[in-house]
């Protein structure tokens, strides 16, 4: 007699005497017998109880849903007409000999047969996780991390832990702080990533490091963000960015084959400039067939004011051609124009191509009176448009046009079901700019300040920082940025130059990063790495778009734990111990 999982039983266990532990999923009383669907984390099996012959000390009449039971009995084949082909255990059932109630269950605050509010589900997370749909996701996550670890260990990566009680590093978001009791007035920071530690592990000579590690950002949360998230953190020495990408791509390829039995296509490598110009996003969903098209030349003879002005200034004239979009109503078009306005659009030009061969007579357009047959012809040629298409064109400065059209591309792709949902479309985005200009006009690092520029001359770096490209790469799958990384700076001079561009004077450099700069003077290896967002990878692999589905105990968008009621107030004496007071 041995313990078995309900969900793993099948005809191969016929006649075996087994012990099961599980929960009552359903009870039916029929012809003097009690039929119980018993559930454990592996699935469900049918248990048949004959009240006349079962050995038990418990009151069978009281047993109902979510009672926790121990059942001993024999596995037997079901009669032919009772076979259930929908579940893997559907050909067998358990003829119960003994039954023990391990725990009874009060009426549950969640109803598993209907939708419960997310608030209730989070408060009673330990019950919500009993639903097969939920438990399967956490099981998949466990398997996914296991595949990742096995892959990396096969490739000589060492699992090395780095501190959680750490020091603030400039990753761009707010840190969570931890007051020190021993050093009154001082604080630790929870890491936004183990960035500097992993670089120092390279200086120490470990050359292939990985860690699956919690990271923390005190940001204003969005639906797909959590204050703590899990990173698959990888760093290597002596490899080129192409070699690092190759390892990362092989890892992701293996995840897809081993969890979904799907061979991913080769990952195309696109530059940041290309994907911004073509998709209006640095994480384009390539399942969406829409591309951004340049209409500046084809519209050049159009007398519309903003078009003419764009010829002399540097403004963009770009647009999207939506197949079969001419069926959009005037109201729908207006809605898209309004949607674009939320991204600083001043308006959109639209052209409905009903009958191309009829020329101007075959179209409708917001700028029809500024069009000629020749201009129309040029436009149609520029985008290979066909009858029934609609064009949306934005005229504005570059960054606005690309952002507006990128957002519109996503929305229209979704609305019109243009996205090929059965496909996987991974890609690499490379050659990001080193810097962008922040709202206050200062330079800020687009990745982080340890990212290597492609330029290696310190003079040239200081000369034209906004022109610099970085040796960085993001992995994007179906519009999600699942990972990102870079080759790092391993030259003290270049690192100091980058800090200088980021307005750290020498004192500040020494104060904040003196140890890093010094480390680079003792034989630092060339190194680089990548970090994957594990939560996002799991989301993609299990097919959910709610990040809370793949985390055992997630927090709300206001960073609360509704189950335990955290954060919460603490005793005044505890704060006194920490030398802090609440304002």
Q: Which residues are annotated as a binding site for ATP?
A: 217-219, 226, 481, 533-536
Q: Is 503 one of the binding residues for a second copy (CB under 8 A)? A: no
Cβ of residue 158: shortest distance to a second copy, in angstroms?
4
- How many CB atoms sit inside 10 A of residue 77's CB? 13
Q: Cβ closer to a second copy: 63 or 427?
A: 63
Site for a second copy in 164-223 (CB under 8 A): 164-168, 174-190, 196-197, 200-201, 203-207, 214, 216, 218
Whole-number Å distance between alpha carbons of 400 and 305: 18
Q: Is 125 one of the binding residues for a second copy (CB under 8 A)? A: yes
Q: Which position has the token pair 């309900």?
A: 6
Q: Cβ closer to a second copy: 57 or 342?
A: 57
Q: Is 10 one of the binding residues for a second copy (CB under 8 A)? A: no
Q: Is 238 one of the binding residues for a second copy (CB under 8 A)? A: yes
- How many CB atoms sit inside 10 A of residue 508's CB? 13
Longest CA–CA separation in the chain, Å: 94
Out of 23, 151, 279, 499, the residue judged to bind a second copy by CB under 8 A: 23
Q: Specify the length of the chain in residues.
A: 583
Residues flagged as binding site for L-aspartate: 171, 217, 447, 488
Q: Determine how β-strand 92-103 pairs with β-strand 43-49.
A: parallel
Which residues, including other chains, have CB under 8 Å from residue 35's CB and lie 6 or more apart?
27, 28, 29, 46, 47, 48, 49
Cβ of residue 485: shortest distance to a second copy, in angstroms?
19
Closest CA to 186 of 207, 164, 202, 165: 165
Phi-psi region of 432 (alpha: psi -120 to 50; beta: other; left: phi over 0): beta
The contact pattern for a second copy, residues 466-495, with x = CB under 8 A and - = no contact, is ------------------------xx----
Site for a second copy in 59-78 (CB under 8 A): 66-68, 70
Q: Is 391 one of the binding residues for a second copy (CB under 8 A)? A: no
CA distances from 366 to 215, 263, 344 (A): 49, 46, 19
Closest CA to 452 of 434, 438, 467: 434
Q: Cβ closer to a second copy: 3 or 28?
A: 3
CA distances from 93 to 30, 41, 60, 79, 119 (A): 15, 18, 19, 10, 37
Cβ of residue 155: shortest distance to a second copy, in angstroms?
12
Q: Is 130 one of the binding residues for a second copy (CB under 8 A)? A: yes
Bridge partners, 18 (sequence order)? 2, 73
Whole-number Å distance between alpha carbons of 121 and 225: 18
Phi-psi region of 414 (alpha: psi -120 to 50; beta: other; left: phi over 0): alpha
Q: Cβ closer to a second copy: 77 or 570?
A: 570
Out of 33, 77, 108, 338, the residue judged to bind a second copy by CB under 8 A: 108
Q: Cβ closer to a second copy: 168 or 444?
A: 168
Out of 7, 43, 73, 227, the residue judged to bind a second copy by CB under 8 A: 227
How many chain residues are in contact with a second copy, going by CB under 8 A? 116
Q: Is 139 one of the binding residues for a second copy (CB under 8 A)? A: yes
CB 249 within 8 A of CB 530: no
Residues flagged as binding site: 171, 217-219, 226, 447, 481, 488, 533-536
Bridge partners, 3 (sequence order)? 19
DSSP type of residue 384: T
Q: Which stretch binds a second copy (CB under 8 A): 74-82, 105-113, 422-430, 447-455?
A: 105-113
Which residues, including other chains, have CB under 8 Å from residue 60's CB and lie 6 or more apart?
34, 49, 51, 54, 99
Cβ of residue 74: shortest distance to a second copy, in angstroms?
20
Q: Cβ closer to a second copy: 105 or 416?
A: 105
Which residues, including other chains, have CB under 8 Å from residue 567's CB and lie 6 or more apart?
559, 560, 561
Q: Is 112 one of the binding residues for a second copy (CB under 8 A)? A: no
The contact pattern for a second copy, residues 531-570, with x = CB under 8 A and - = no contact, is --------------------xxx-x--xxxx-xxxxxxxx
Cβ of residue 566: shortest distance to a second copy, in angstroms?
4
Q: Which stretch binds a second copy (CB under 8 A): 53-61, 101-109, 289-297, 444-452?
A: 101-109
CA distances from 154 to 9, 159, 249 (A): 33, 12, 15
Q: Cβ closer to a second copy: 300 or 560?
A: 560
Site for a second copy in 425-464 (CB under 8 A): none
Q: Cβ closer to a second copy: 143 or 420?
A: 143
């Amino acid at each position: 007699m041995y313990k078995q999982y309900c969900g793993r039983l099948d005809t191969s266990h016929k006649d075996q005497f087994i012990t099961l532990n599980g929960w009552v999923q359903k009870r039916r009383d029929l012809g003097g017998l009690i039929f119980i669907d018993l559930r454990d984390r592996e699935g469900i099996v049918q248990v048949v109880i004959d009240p006349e012959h079962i050995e038990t000390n418990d009151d069978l009449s009281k047993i109902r849903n979510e009672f926790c039971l121990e059942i001993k009995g024999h596995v037997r084949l079901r009669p032919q007409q009772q076979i259930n082909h929908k579940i893997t255990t559907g050909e067998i059932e358990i003829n119960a000999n003994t039954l023990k109630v391990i725990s009874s269950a009060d009426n549950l605050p969640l109803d598993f047969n209907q939708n419960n509010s997310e608030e209730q589900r989070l408060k009673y997370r330990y019950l919500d996780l009993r639903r097969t749909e939920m438990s399967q996701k956490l099981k998949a996550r466990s398997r996914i991390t296991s595949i990742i670890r096995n892959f990396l260990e096969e490739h000589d990566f060492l699992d090395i832990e780095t501190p959680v009680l750490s020091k603030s590093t400039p990753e761009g978001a707010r840190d969570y702080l931890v007051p020190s009791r021993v050093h009154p007035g001082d604080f630790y920071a929870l890491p936004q990533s183990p960035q500097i530690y992993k670089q120092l592990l390279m200086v120490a000579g470990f050359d292939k490091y990985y860690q699956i590690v919690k990271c923390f950002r005190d940001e204003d949360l969005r639906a797909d963000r959590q204050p703590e998230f899990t990173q698959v953190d990888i760093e290597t020495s002596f490899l080129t960015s192409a070699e690092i990408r190759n390892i990362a791509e092989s890892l992701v390829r293996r995840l897809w084959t081993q969890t979904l039995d799907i061979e991913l296509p080769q990952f195309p490598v696109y530059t940041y400039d290309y994907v911004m110009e073509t998709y209006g996003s640095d994480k384009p969903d390539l399942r969406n067939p829409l591309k951004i098209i340049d209409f500046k030349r084809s519209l050049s003879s159009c007398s519309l004011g903003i078009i003419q002005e764009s010829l002399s200034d540097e403004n963009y004239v770009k647009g999207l051609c939506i197949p079969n979009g001419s069926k959009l109503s005037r109201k729908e078009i207006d809605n898209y124009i309004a949607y674009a306005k939320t991204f600083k659009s001043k308006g959109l030009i639209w052209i409905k191509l009903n009958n191309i061969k009829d020329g101007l007579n075959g179209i409708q357009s917001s700028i029809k009176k500024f069009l000629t047959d020749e201009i129309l012809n040029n436009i149609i040629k520029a985008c290979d448009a066909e009858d029934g298409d609609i064009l949306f064109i934005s005229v504005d400065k570059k960054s606005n046009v690309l952002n507006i059209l990128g957002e519109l591309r996503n929305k229209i792709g979704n609305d019109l079901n243009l996205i090929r949902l059965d496909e996987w479309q991974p890609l690499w985005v490379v050659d990001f700019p080193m810097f962008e200009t922040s709202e206050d006009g200062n330079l800020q690092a687009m990745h982080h300040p340890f990212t290597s520029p492609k330029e290696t001359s310190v003079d040239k770096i200081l000369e034209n920082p906004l022109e610099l490209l970085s040796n960085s790469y993001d992995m994007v799958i179906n519009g999600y940025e699942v990972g990102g990384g870079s080759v790092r700076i391993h030259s003290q001079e270049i690192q100091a130059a980058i800090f200088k561009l980021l307005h750290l004077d020498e004192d500040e450099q020494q104060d904040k990063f003196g140890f890093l700069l010094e480390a680079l003077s003792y034989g630092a290896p060339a190194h680089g790495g990548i970090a994957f967002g594990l939560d996002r990878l799991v989301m993609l692999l299990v097919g959910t778009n709610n990040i809370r589905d793949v985390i055992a105990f997630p927090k709300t968008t206001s960073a609360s734990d509704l189950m335990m009621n955290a954060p919460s107030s603490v005793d005044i004496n505890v704060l006194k111990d920490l030398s802090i007071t609440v304002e």
